[in-house]
Each structure stands twice: as C-alpha cells, then as structure tokens.
Chain A
Amino acid sequence: MGYVGQRLIQAVFVLWVVATLCFLMFRLMPGDPTLNYIDTSMTEEQRQNMLVAFGLDQPLYVQYLIYLKNLLRGELGNSFLQGRPVLELVLEALPLTVALTLSALIVAYIFGVIAGAFLAWKRGSLTEGVAIPLVLATRAAPEFWLGMILLAIFAFGYGWFPSGGAASAGAEYGSEWERLFSLDFLYHLLLPALALAVYLQGLPLLLMRSTMLEVMQDEFVTMARMKGLSEWTIVIRHAARNALLPVATAFALGIGGSVGGNVVVETVFSWPGLGRMLVTAVQGSDYPLAQGAFLIIAAVLVLMNLVADLLYGWLDPRVSHGRKG
C-alpha cells in the first residue's frame, strides 16, 4: 500500500476521531442539547422542524450518523446569530486567516533562516551570546502581548497604522482576489502579520542554526573544504541546502499550527479570520458556528501534519519509511 497510502488513512482516521470528539463535546454537555444547538428565539414549529432536520428527536447513535452524513456533505447548519449557513461564513473567514498566516510565516522563515545560518557561523561569539536568549524571549512572549505593544506604539502612539480590522470603512472590491491584493488590505495586514512573525521566527532560526552546526561537521563539508572551495560557497551551496530540510517541514507544520494559534492575534487586532470567529461564536453561544470553525481549524491542522510528513520523505530520500532500501 505504501507509505503515502498508510499516512493518508491515518489522517482520515484522526479527522474522524476529532469530528467524533467534537460531536460528543457539543452534544453530551450537561443540559438539553436543543437549547445549545437551536436558537431560543425560534417559534415552536420552527424548533420542531430543526429538531427533525438535525435528527435531534432520534436516539444518540442515529444523531451521530446523521451528523457524520451532514459533515461529509459539507452541511454544518446555520449560525444562529447571523442566520446564514456556517460553511459560507467559515469559507469567508478562511482566506483572511490564510493571508495573515502565510504572510507572517514567509517573513518569519526568510528572516529565521538567514539569521539562523548567520548565528551558526558566528558560533561562540558575543553576538550569539546576546542573540540566543533574545530569540528565546520572543518565543516565550505571549503573541497577544506583542500585538498590544505594536498597537500601543504604531497604531495609537504614532498613528501610522490602523488599530484593527481588515479594511477601511466603506471599502468595496470587485472580487475576493482584488481585495486580498489591495493596498488598503496590506496596510491593515502589516501590524498583525508583524506581531505573528516576531513570535514565529524563533523556531526556524533555532532549527536552522542547530542543523547548520550539525551539517558543517559532515564529511561532505570537509570534502568541499579540501577541494578548496570558499567558505561562502560551502555555507550556501552545501551546508544551507541540507540544513533547509527540517525547516521546510517545520514550515508546513507551522501553517497548521498557526491557523489555530492565530486566535489571540486575530482577537487583538480585530482581524475577521477563523480564530476570531471561533472566539466570538463561543462567547455568543453560537454553537453551530463554533463547531464549524473548530472543525475547519482541526482539518487544516491534520492536513498540514500530513503534508509535512510527506514533504519530509520527498525532500529527503534517505528516509525510507521502514522499507529496507
């Protein structure tokens, strides 16, 4: 069946368990599930219709089967605060979260890779002694706190950037693409992406540094030295290329991780993405929306874990996945 097939089945299995957990969390909580799941402002008839539509008049295992069937068809119910299909709302928020995550990750990884390679080269110097604790400190800082500092300085202090949201009031665009690439959008994106990037750059930096240190002791680097290649060529052409491997995997994992972890940054900057949607839905007891947002975030995470694993095997042929080669 091969490694890819096995890994795919595992991902589907994990998704199924997460979906089941989600079902149990939202249905088996104390209290009447209809109170949680169905809007209290509905008329009795509407309520009965909803009950039947979601199978809430059936025993639990039937409800579970209906839930799975609905999930497979992309049917996530209606948000009760906004009255629109959850899937539609979630798919509207997803591009904003992806834009924030990707721009922050790209900046963070470019900076991290370069700075990490630099620090590996500067091993044992004063620069390293100061930089490493500093980098660790950015990893230890809560993201929302970094966001608050940036807001206080650049949005409220100097007034250079807007204090929240993803668009100026009254802005309208012909299409989603036009919006995501408009100057106004980038202007709003900059501060939240920066806050996220400051938090995210530590991992690629430390990874790059430690793998560089490892690679620099490898035989092929010694070989390159013996061939008389310049230090620069050795670092860039030989060492860095091999050291990039774990960084690429971490990048894929980073996408999955930050789509869920963005929750606080999106809240600080009122960024209308998935994370903030989840928080407001949970706070407003909008359970269908909360469940939908949670499931999508989990699906992205599982998918990116899968991509990271496959990417690693593809980039590094030495990983033979248990098969004797």
Chain B
Amino acid sequence: MAPARPSAWRTASGQIGRVLRIASRDWFALAGTLIYLALILVAIFADRIATHDPSEILYTGRYRIARNLPMSWDHLLGTTHGGRDIFSQLVYGSRSAVVVGLTAAFCVAAIGTLLGLLSGFFRGWVDTVVMRLADVVLGLPFLPFVIVLAALTRPGTATIVFSVAVLLWPNTARVIRSQVLTVRERAFVEAARVTGCSTWRILFVHVAPSILPLSFLYGSIAVGWAILTEASASFLGFGDPSVISWGGMLQDAYASQAMGRGAYNWFIPPGLCIVLVVLAGFFISRGYEEILFPKLRS
C-alpha cells in the first residue's frame, strides 16, 4: 500500500482518519463513540445539567434533612442518606470519570508506546531490561498495589492514575514491540537508513507513525480500566473524598445501608454509568481491532 517513500506523518494521519471512519461502518464502534461523546458533553456542561449542588445538604423543612427521598420531579433520582441530590452527583461524577480515564489512558499509551518502540527498535540490552521490567509489573497484584500505594502516599486521584499507568503499560509495550520488530525490517525504513537519516529520526519520524493506531487502541482500552480501578479504590475508601465520583457514590450507598432499604435509585445509576463508559471503550477497541488486524474479519 505504501509508495516508494511515503511521507510518514501523512500515512499516520491517514491511518488516524481511517480509525475515525470506522465509527461510521461498525455498529459497535459507533455506539462506543457516541457514549464517549455524551460523557464528555455531560462533563463539560455538568453545572448546567445538574439540578442541585451535588455536595449541598438539602432540607425539607427547618432542621429536617431531606434524607432518602424517592424519585420525583424535584429530585430526579431521589436523595442520599446524607440529604444530597443523587442525579446531580451522578452528573458531576462524569467529570472525575473523564479526568481519570483520559489522563490514565494517555499515560498508559505514552509509556507503553515509548518503551515498546525502544525495546523493539534497539533490541539487545534495552529490550532485555524493558521486557524483564514488564515481567515484574505483571507479577504485581493490581488492586492490592493500588491500595497499598494509596495508603502509603496520599489517597486521591493522582495516586490512582499513577498506579494505573505503572501497572498497565506492559501489555501495550509488548504489542508495540512486536509490531516494531516487523516494521523496522520494511523497505521504507531501510531506505531512510540508506539516505543517511539518524537513528532517532528513523525511530520517531519513520517507525513511530506506523504504530500510532495501536497506541490509540490500547489507550482506549485503558480508559475503561482506569475508571473501573478508580471506582474500586473509591469504594474501598482510598479515593479522594473531596471529589464526587461514581465509585465514591457507591461507597456512600454501601456504607449507609442503601441495599437494606432497597434504595435501588441510589446504587443502580452510578454502576450503570460505569458499565456504559467501560463498555464504550470495549466497543471502540473491538471496532479498531477489526480494522487494524483485518485477519479477524471473516
């Protein structure tokens, strides 16, 4: 498909364009993209959509906290045991999901891509070091590591994003590495070498663009993992208590015995939101996979 010397970045942008066009053809990818779009819009306009201040304690009368109200027009999803509006919390929770998901995905994709590129391109001792590092990371239990790290440092979003990035890069790096191993033998890389390009130029201008779609693929999977991890950590009480998140809402519901009272309006919506967003990541990556690895399509 490549002409004698393609402008590497043009092929890269072409591939990204192709990745975006998938959405119009694949039903799964379309659904996933729409969910992501909706999430981002809700996060941006959270203050307009929310009907109440999500952390304000509401009162029904003088000194009477509006506890456990059922669903109504005033409180679309009712109120929590602490007298806060559930719908507004749900809306604001999207912000923390976007922040955690996107920053963690970016870190995972960046670290994984860089290490995969280096180890696949230079091979030798660089490869050995990176791959042994990956072995060690795969030997670290995921959630326990997040918990211990959160407890020893400062519980909060940054710790969670950091641990997700530290723990999830090996999968990305391994796939990128094997792709680089084949790309580096291709004619256009050889041509660049012959015309006297420096090693780093070959690596970042000629090799890197052709594996960028793979970084996107693994980044989109990491979004879901990061949000799930944040939810689990918040549920266990290692999240940032000052930030409203879906995991934090579930912890609040669990701690206030919402299940015992059958307050489905409280603990079902945050979980559903998590499922939808993580599912969107799965859908998008499925669509990409079929385009990136056409062998799967039959």
Interface residues of A (CB under 8 A from B): 10, 13-15, 17-18, 21, 25-26, 29, 133, 136-137, 139-145, 148-149, 151-152, 155-157, 163, 213, 217, 257, 259-261, 263-264, 267-268, 275, 278-279, 282-283, 285, 290, 293-294, 297-298, 301-302, 305
Contacts and interface: CB of A to CB of B under 8 A. Distances in A.
The 10 closest A-B pairs by CB, nearest first: A260-B141, A140-B278, A145-B271, A152-B259, A14-B139, A282-B151, A140-B279, A302-B139, A17-B136, A297-B141
Contacts of A278: 144, 147-148
Contact of A283 (B140, B153, B235, B237): B237
B152 interface: yes
B294 interface: no
B135 A10 contact: yes
Contact of A156 (B231, B254, B260, B275): B260
Contact of B153 (A29, A139, A140, A261): A29
Interface SS majority for chain B: helix
B135 A25 contact: no
A308 to B, nearest CB: 11
A294 B138 CA distance: 14
A157 B147 contact: no
Contact of B143 (A25, A261, A290, A305): A261
B90 interface: no
Interface of B: 28, 132, 135-136, 138-145, 147-149, 151-153, 224, 228, 231-232, 235-237, 247, 250, 253-254, 258-260, 262, 264, 267-268, 270-271, 274-276, 278-279, 282-283, 298
Interface SS majority for chain A: helix
A152 B236 contact: no
B235 A137 contact: no
Given A145-B250, A152-B259, A279-B236, A263 B139 contact: no
A25 B148 contact: yes
B192 to A, nearest CB: 31
Given A137-B275, A140-B224, A283-B237, A152 B262 contact: yes
Contact of A264 (B236, B275, B278, B282): B236
A137 B274 CA distance: 10
B135 A294 contact: no
Contacts of B144: 260, 263, 275, 278, 293-294, 297-298
Contacts of B138: 305
A263 B238 CA distance: 13
A301 B139 contact: yes
A283 B279 CA distance: 31
14 contacts: A18-B139, A29-B152, A140-B276, A140-B282, A259-B141, A260-B141, A260-B144, A261-B142, A263-B144, A264-B236, A294-B148, A298-B140, A301-B140, A305-B138
Given A137-B275, A156-B262, A297-B144, A142 B231 contact: yes
Contacts of A13: 132, 135
Nearest to A142: B231
B289 to A, nearest CB: 11
A77 to B, nearest CB: 16
Nearest to A285: B151
B236 A136 contact: no
Given A263-B147, A264-B235, A298-B139, A148 B275 contact: no
Nearest to B260: A156
A176 B136 CA distance: 34
Given A142-B235, A142-B271, A152 B264 contact: yes
A142 B267 CA distance: 12
Contact of A149 (B268, B276, B278, B283): B268
A297 B28 CA distance: 36
Given A144-B250, A152-B264, A290 B151 contact: yes
A246 to B, nearest CB: 15
Contacts of B275: 137, 140-141
A144 B275 CA distance: 12
Nearest to B153: A29
A136 B267 contact: no
B148 A148 contact: no
A149 B136 CA distance: 36
B195 to A, nearest CB: 35
A141 B274 contact: yes
Contacts of A148: 250, 253-254, 259, 267, 271
B235 A144 contact: yes
A264 to B, nearest CB: 5
A111 B247 CA distance: 29
A25 B152 contact: yes
B135 A14 contact: yes
B139 A15 contact: yes
Contact of B274 (A140, A279, A290, A297): A140
A99 B269 CA distance: 32
Nearest to B27: A129
